[in-house]
Structure 1
Amino acid sequence: MTETALIVGAGDSLGAALARRFAREGLHVVATRRRGNLDGLTAQIRDAGGQVTGLHSDARDEEAVKQLVAQAESIGPIAACVFNVGGNVRFPVAETTARVYRKVWEMCALAGFLIGREVSASMLERGRGTILFTGATASLRGNAGYAAFAGGKHALRALAESMARELGPRGIHVGHVIIDGLIDNPETKKLFPDIFETRGQDGILRPDDIAEAYWQLHAQPRNAWTFEQDLRPFKEPW
């Protein structure tokens, strides 16, 4: 039976690159996002000879997550799951409403917990599998204007570390990837044109190169697992 790779947060940039990369290895990719068109991504994967199912699902909704994981498992056992939901917002703390803070926490932390819990339950029955969480600079340090985002990403990292310690000895590889820098996509290019111009082609993270790192984490032998990996362009200060 073909194994599946569940990509949660299969947007137009990194999420799409992750879906393409795992599909290239013969896994049936279940690519999900809350809203937005998935037709272009699924067509790309199929045109390249891959297998893919595109679904819309809200990872903050417990029942929706249960249905999503059950549907992915019905296609084939989930060998890898990537939680790639964003949530990056910037507001001065005095202007951060409770609604904004709650929504960011739900996207970063609650959704990560729900996906991690449901996917790991299936993987534990088989004693193997990989769960990878996408982090950010804000996973390690807060900054002015990022109280909500840093709070959510700190919580996601704590979840990932707790799961890794609990599930690793039972055969489940849990990893956390810190993306420390701008990712090359139209939105970031529009927001930070000066950085794109001054840093050049290798000064911005490329989605396909990030996706390669995720695949390598999944492919690691279990005698040499990595919990946390940070990725940044060579010009990125840190």
Structure 2
Amino acid sequence: MIDLPYRSALIIGAGSGISGSLTRLLRAADLPVVVAARNIDKLAPLVEQTGALALPVDAAEAAQVERLFAETEARIGAPEIVIYNASGRLRGPLAELDPEAVERAVAVSALGAFYTVQQAAKRMVPAGKGAILLTGATAGVKGFALSAPFAMGKFALRGLAQSAARELAPQGIHVAHIVVDGSVRAEHRADPPQQPDSTLDPDAIAQCYLDLLRQHRSAWSWELEVRPWVEKF
């Protein structure tokens, strides 16, 4: 059994990659886990494998996030670990991007994270305990061409994490931002034979999240960066 100082978890923006690996590790620690996504049908294999509970949410809608926390609390208790993995990805030349699609992408990456942190704080501050982990990306440190909406959302996410950490850490809540600097390995994106471990293994990333959750409060990290050993800085 994996020893963690928390008793329940909620993962928003769940899928088969990092979230799937996190769910398996947290369930191995015997924690009840709620996984939430817009389309929970895709979570059926993960739910069957782990016994996690799947609930629907559109993270860009404040009312839906509020309902998700209320239902999570009713089903497994107030989550002591909250992980935000949702992202709004939109690519294209600046002059050609649809403003409404940009608004939606930024809302998923940034506003959804705010709604999540707000609902988590409402429960964690009175308890004096909790952990909020926000999944960032290279785009939150440097913006790439043809990817302005993703950079906008991820830069905002990083700012939210920094502000929340400074506000909530003195109240016993560990807030951390994880910069995933590279491509995450998937079934449809395997490493080339000539470059093993050139993408991030989602199981290895999940282990880093657990390492953060185990940190003593006298030495909390607010940000962690992970990248493959061959990734250029």
Please report the TM-score for the alignment, with normalisation by the length of structure 2: 0.93
1-structure distance, mates of 2:22, 2:80: 14
1-structure distance, mates of 2:98, 2:61: 22
1-structure distance, mates of 2:230, 2:30: 34
Deviation of residue 28 (structure 1)?
Answer: 0.3
Q: Which residue of 1 aligns with 2:176?
A: 175
Deviation of residue 77 (structure 1)?
Answer: 2.9
Change (3 A) 1:112 1:93: same
Structure 1, 114-123 or 57-66: larger mean CA deviation: 57-66
Q: Which residue of 2 aligns with 1:73?
A: 73
Unaligned runs of 5+ in 1: 47-51
Q: Which residue of 1 aligns with 2:144?
A: 143
Q: Which runs of 4+ in 1 moved over 4 A?
A: none
Please report the TM-score for the alignment, with normalisation by the length of structure 1: 0.91
> Are residue 220 (structure 1) and residue 199 (structure 2) matched?
no
Instruction: Output one character per residue of 1:98-147: Cα deviation in whole Å (capped at 9) or x when no partner.
Output: 01210111110010000110011101110010000000000011111111
8 A contact 1:199–1:235 mirrored in 2: no
Letter in 1 for 2:211: Q
Deviation of residue 186 (structure 1)?
Answer: 3.5
Deviation of residue 17 (structure 1)?
Answer: 1.0
Deviation of residue 206 (structure 1)?
Answer: 0.7
1-structure distance, mates of 2:226, 2:24: 19
How many residues end up aligned between the 2 structures? 226
Q: Find the partner of 1:25 among 14, 29, 42.
A: 29
> Are residue 37 (structure 1) and residue 42 (structure 2) matched?
yes
Unaligned runs of 5+ in 2: 1-5
2-structure distance, mates of 1:125, 1:6: 18
Q: Which residue of 2 aligns with 1:49?
A: none
Structure 1, 72-81 or 210-219: larger mean CA deviation: 72-81
Q: Which residue of 1 aligns with 2:201?
A: 206
1-structure distance, mates of 2:225, 2:124: 25
Q: CA RMSD in A?
A: 1.5
Letter in 1 for 2:232: P
Deviation of residue 201 (structure 1)?
Answer: 2.8
Q: Which residue of 2 aligns with 1:60?
A: 60
Change (3 A) 1:80 1:13: same
Deviation of residue 68 (structure 1)?
Answer: 0.7
Instruction: Output one character per residue of 1:183-227: Cα deviation in whole Å (capped at 9) or x when no partner.
Output: 01135x2xxx7xx32663311101111001011111111011000
Change (3 A) 1:184 1:71: same
Change (3 A) 1:199 1:130: farther
Q: Which residue of 2 aligns with 1:236?
A: 231
1-structure distance, mates of 2:53, 2:193: 39
Q: Which residue of 1 aligns with 2:92?
A: 91
Deviation of residue 20 (structure 1)?
Answer: 1.2
Q: Sequence identity, in percent?
A: 37
2-structure distance, mates of 1:216, 1:11: 21
